[in-house]
Structure formats: C-alpha cells, structure tokens
C-alpha cells in the first residue's frame, strides 16, 4: 500500500457552547489523533453520538475545532485547516478535500446534471467536459437519463443520494470524507459506490467515512477507527 501521509489530526477537541441553553457545553471530541494515508479507507465506528459526523465536519472545516490541528497535504505542502483563512479553506475544498453527506442540498430550478457538474466547473473544467463527466457518473449510478434535466427536489431519497454521491465524487480529490452516503441505497447501487471508492483509492485518494451497514463497511474499509462518546462534562 502507498504510505504517503495525507491527513493528520493532532489532539483534536470540539465542544459546542450553547449560549441560549443556559450556556450549556457539549463536549463531543477530546484529544483525538488520527493519521490517514493515500490509498487507505478508514471507517469510523462507534455508537450513535460518538462524534463520528462531528469529526468529519471538523475536518471539512464546517465546524471549527475548539483545540488541536487538522493538517492536510494540499498542492504538495502542509496546511492546518484549523488556522487557515476562509479563502484557503475554499481552495482546499475545491481541489483537495471532498465531503459527501447523507443528504443532497437541493437548489431550486437547477437540473440534476448541472448540480453534479458544478464542482468540476468550479475546479476549472469547461462546461462540455463537466456535463459529460456528470452524465457518465449518473449513468454508472443508475440515475435514468430522463431525470438529468430535472431538478432533483422531487426525486426519491435513494435517487437524491446517488445524485449527491456523483456530485461529491466528480472532482478527483486526494481526501474524501463520506458521512453515510449509502444509507438509502439498494445493494446494486451500494456495489457501484464501493467500486467508485475502490477506483478513487487506486488513483491515490484517501477515504475517511461512516458506513453503518456492516456489509458495506467490510467491503470498503482497510482499517476501522473506533470512537466512543465522551462522558457528560
């Protein structure tokens, strides 16, 4: 296996301070260390409430860490996302760090094909190539072509999830964060996602994900990272 270190979390902590709930403080992550290498697929395991989704969001810089560092390799140099400027974070997300959640954020009136193609356009591809790649991915994920020109707002949960996966994977990024992207997919489509992830890993990407389905987890994980809920503070 390729052993290039690509992401390193050191002493990472995250608490939420709820100012309007009598200043309640929720400690979700404390002193977490994790190293992720190119070609790996590390699956976060642990009961609901263990902080798995929070961890992915902290790495994506969607949540701001309370303490610790999120170092990742971007364009051949190391950058600490915990301290990066908003513009740096956007640049890292555009090309290095992908995130696929369980839910598609639907944009009114925007057709499925364009929703999928958008990240590739933002990464600098031209419209024709981006749409072609988007169509290719939607095709592999069994989203029927007659739906491509429709906004996905009225699609089923499984269809929306596949659109979301296509959007999340269309730019080949070195690090992929996946928060239960296959929760509402049937076996056939899970298999497609597993293949897409295997291809991404073969191309050198590292995957860090949450998969509750055990078959899926066994199919994709190269290593498990166990997590536990912290005691009430």
Partner 1 sequence: MSALLKVRNLSRHYGQRIGCEEVSFDLHPGELLCIVGESGSGKSTLLNTVAAQLSPAAGNVHYRQRDGEWLDIGSLNEADRRRLAREEWGFVTQNPRDGLRLNVSAGANVAERLMALGMRDYGQLRGIARSWLERVEIDPARIDDAPTGFSGGMQQRLQIARTLVTQPRLVFMDEPTAGLDVSVQARILDLLRRLVNELGLAAVMVTHDLAVARLLAARTIVMQGGRVVETGLTDQILDDPQHPYTQLLVSSVLTT
Contact positions vs partner 1 (CB under 8 A):
16-20, 57, 61-64, 86-87, 89-90, 107-110, 121
| Residue (38 or 177) nearer to partner 1, CB | 177
CB 88 → partner 1: shortest distance, Å?
10
| Residue (110 or 150) nearer to partner 1, CB | 110
CB 142 → partner 1: shortest distance, Å?
27
CB 19 → partner 1: shortest distance, Å?
4
| Residue (94 or 133) nearer to partner 1, CB | 94
CB 40 → partner 1: shortest distance, Å?
26
SS (H, E, C) the chain: CCCCEEEEEEEEEEEEEECCCCCEEEEEEEEEEEEEECCCEEEEECCCCCCHHHHHHHHCCCCCCCEEEEEEEECCEEEECCCCCHHHHHHHHHHCEEEECCCCCCCCCCCHHHHHHHHHHHCCCCHHHHHHHHHHHHHHCCCCHHHCCCCHHHCCHHHHHHHHHHHHHCCCCCEEEEECCCCCCCHHHHHHHHHHHHHHHHCCCEEEEECCCHHHHHHHCCEEEECCCCCCC
| Residue (99 or 211) nearer to partner 1, CB | 99
CB 33 → partner 1: shortest distance, Å?
22
| Residue (92 or 216) nearer to partner 1, CB | 92
């Amino acid at each position: 296996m390729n052993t290039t270190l690509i992401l390193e979390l050191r002493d990472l902590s995250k608490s939420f301070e709820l100012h309007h709930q009598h200043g309640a403080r929720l400690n979700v992550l404390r002193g977490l260390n994790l190293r992720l290498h190119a070609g790996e697929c590390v699956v976060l395991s642990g009961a609901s409430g263990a902080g798995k989704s929070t961890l992915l969001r902290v790495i994506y810089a969607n949540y701001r860490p309370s303490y610790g560092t999120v170092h990742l390799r971007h364009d051949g140099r190391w950058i600490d996302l915990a301290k990066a400027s908003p513009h740096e974070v956007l640049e890292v997300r555009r090309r290095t760090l992908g995130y696929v959640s369980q839910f598609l954020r639907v944009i009114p009136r925007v057709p499925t094909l364009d929703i999928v193609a958008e990240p590739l356009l933002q990464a600098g591809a031209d419209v024709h190539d981006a749409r072609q790649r988007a169509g290719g991915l939607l095709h592999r994920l069994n989203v029927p072509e007659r739906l491509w020109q429709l906004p996905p707002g009225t699609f089923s949960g499984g269809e929306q999830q596949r659109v979301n996966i296509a959007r999340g994977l269309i730019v080949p990024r070195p690090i992929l964060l996946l928060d239960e992207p296959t929760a509402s997919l049937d076996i056939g489509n899970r298999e497609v996602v597993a293949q897409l992830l295997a291809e991404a890993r073969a191309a050198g990407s590292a995957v860090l994900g949450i998969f509750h389905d055990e078959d899926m987890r066994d199919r994709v994980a190269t290593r498990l990272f166990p997590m536990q809920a912290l005691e009430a503070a």
